[in-house]
Chain A
Amino acid sequence: MTTKYRLIASVLCHRGQVVQTRRFKPQNVIGNAITAVDFFNSWAVDEIILLDISPNDQYFDSFVETADELSKRCFVPLTVGGNVRSLDAARRLTRVGADKVVVNTGAFLRPELIAEIADAFGKQAVVVSVDAAPNPDLPSGYEVVIDRARHRTKEDLLSWVNKATAHGAGELLLNSVEHDGDRRGYDIPLMNLVTSHVSIPVIAFGGVNEWQDLVSGIRDGGVQAVAAGNIFHYTEQSTKKAKEFLEQAQLRVRRSQFYEISLPRHPKYRPY
């Protein structure tokens, strides 16, 4: 028996607002992060990923404040990142309640960052986010892209994945530049390439259009967790429906249990 497949809701913050993205560019403003997390926390979601996708770290202070507010009301794992370029930035996020820290460009430019965070908070606290684009000239057929899809690195995907795991990555968050927000499902060959190559958990991200895409990510892509953002914002009881769909597909997922608990100091916590 192994662990259950995780359903993860992603919340993207752009200059202090929750947004949807398409090919890494912010599109619609959804609202504020607290409402979004209250919403996800209330349903069957297994984890929340909160990312600051502001163009630079100008909004990082207010993002840390947002993470701080969210962690007080989030009783599933909270994974936070975006613009994390130093151990100090990672420390600020864990201090306000991030259970795991996401690194991407900062880690690519200086892979030691992964080891520094792993040493300080444990390997399980470092999620390395990798964005990939097809490149037939490279051995794996994919190239690493950084800076929110603005900068092609010419580095082979698997070569970077090897480096990241060697430095102590605890998990990978894998996204395809072309599939992001494009509603054509995860890039399954990309997921498969990476999951069959690494021994750490992989989270699929980018492109979910229907619940069947989540099933494909797990079954064909071999990932341990499926993340989506846009699709959850528009469907009522969305994460619950997604869970039911996964269950019907015979995939082992967590069922939320209800217990009568008095939480006097947390009147805003509405679990169901």
Chain B
Amino acid sequence: MKIAIIDYGYANIRSVINAFNCFECDISILESPKALADSDKIVMPGVGSFDAGMRGLRERNFIDTMSERVFEFDVPFLGICVGMQMMSEGSEEGDLPGLGWFQGTFRHFPSTDSSLKVPHIGWSEVTAQPDSQLFSGIDLVSDFYFAHSYYLPIDEKKDEICAGKCTYGVPFTAAVEQDHVFGVQFHPEKSQLAGMKIIENFLSI
């Protein structure tokens, strides 16, 4: 199985590579969309800022080919952290629009409560949707590692794509899932066995 890891120049992709490397798969790190046509699955890691990521995607001409592979050829896709954020319509962090693959805009965690430290860094409980493919075989409530300052609010319109919820001061979307398109706000590559199980599930889709 060929796994494409999107390298748009800003993300720290090494941890993601290390985790996928534990499984039986061929990993290619793509700096251009050329090899996307050969890939069975696409992973978009993300660390860094929203606009830097979107600019990187644009400058390296990923956007059109990636959308085509995912929505016309049904290639499974996993966005991680800022990678998930970029799949949305946008984020308060930046001015550039996101990919718009799902509805909603990311917001900054409220800074009114002084006991709520921002960024949200650490292990928090995710409550998964029982029918989620991504969380299959994982306890319904399980800890995952988060490191982020922006979150996707929960709302009814997005309920059908919400695969996992978390609360940090406010309830927020920890994972989105629609058919073969997935996004996780946490870092499965850094969430020990629960995270490895997420990766295994994604690889088996």
Contact = CB atoms under 8 A, between A and B. Distances in A.
Interface string A90-134: 000011111110000000000000000001111111000000000
Given A3-B168, A72-B18, A261 B49 contact: no
Interface stretch (B69-77, B115-123, B155-163): B115-123
Interface stretch (A57-65, A229-237, A251-259): A251-259
Contact of A265 (B23, B48, B119, B191): B23
Nearest to A71: B18
Contact of B137 (A4, A74, A171, A259): A259
A49 to B, nearest CB: 13
A4 B190 contact: no
Interface in B32-74: 47-49
Contacts of A139: none
B92 interface: no
B168 A72 contact: no
Interface of B: 10, 12, 14-15, 18-19, 21-24, 47-49, 82, 111, 114-125, 137-139, 142-143, 145-149, 167-169, 187, 189-197, 200
A6 B22 contact: no
Contacts, number: 153
A4 B121 contact: no
Instruction: Decide if the interface of chain A is mainly helix, strand, loop or mixed.
Output: loop
Contact of A125 (B12, B145, B194, B197): B12
Given A3-B121, A170-B121, A259-B137, A121 B12 contact: yes
Nearest to B122: A3
Nearest to B25: A265
Nearest to A1: B167
Given A265-B23, A266-B21, A75 B123 contact: no
A46 B123 contact: yes
Interface of A: 1-6, 46, 71-72, 74-78, 94-100, 119-125, 170-171, 198-202, 224-225, 254-259, 261-266, 269, 271
Given A2-B169, A76-B192, A261-B197, A71 B114 contact: no
Given A97-B18, A170-B121, A257-B139, A2 B193 contact: no
Given A2-B169, A6-B122, A224-B121, 11 more contacts: A1-B167, A1-B168, A94-B14, A119-B49, A124-B148, A170-B119, A199-B111, A254-B123, A261-B197, A263-B23, A266-B21
Contact of A2 (B168, B187, B192, B196): B168
Nearest to A198: B117
A96 B122 CA distance: 21
A122 B196 contact: no
A261 B138 CA distance: 11
26 contacts: A4-B122, A4-B125, A6-B122, A46-B145, A75-B189, A75-B190, A75-B193, A75-B195, A76-B145, A76-B190, A78-B15, A95-B12, A95-B14, A121-B12, A121-B48, A124-B47, A125-B147, A198-B117, A199-B111, A199-B114, A257-B138, A257-B143, A259-B193, A259-B194, A261-B197, A262-B23
A257 B193 CA distance: 7
B23 A75 contact: no
Contacts of B122: 3-6, 46, 201, 224-225
Contacts of B24: 264-265
Contacts of A271: 192-193
A225 to B, nearest CB: 7
Nearest to A252: B125
Contacts of A224: 117, 121-122
Contacts of B200: 261-262
Nearest to B50: A122
Contact of B143 (A2, A200, A254): A254
B22 A259 contact: no
A77 B22 contact: no
B190 A77 contact: yes
- A-B pairs, top 5 by smallest CB distance, nearest first, are A3-B122, A266-B22, A97-B14, A124-B147, A263-B22
A6 B123 contact: yes
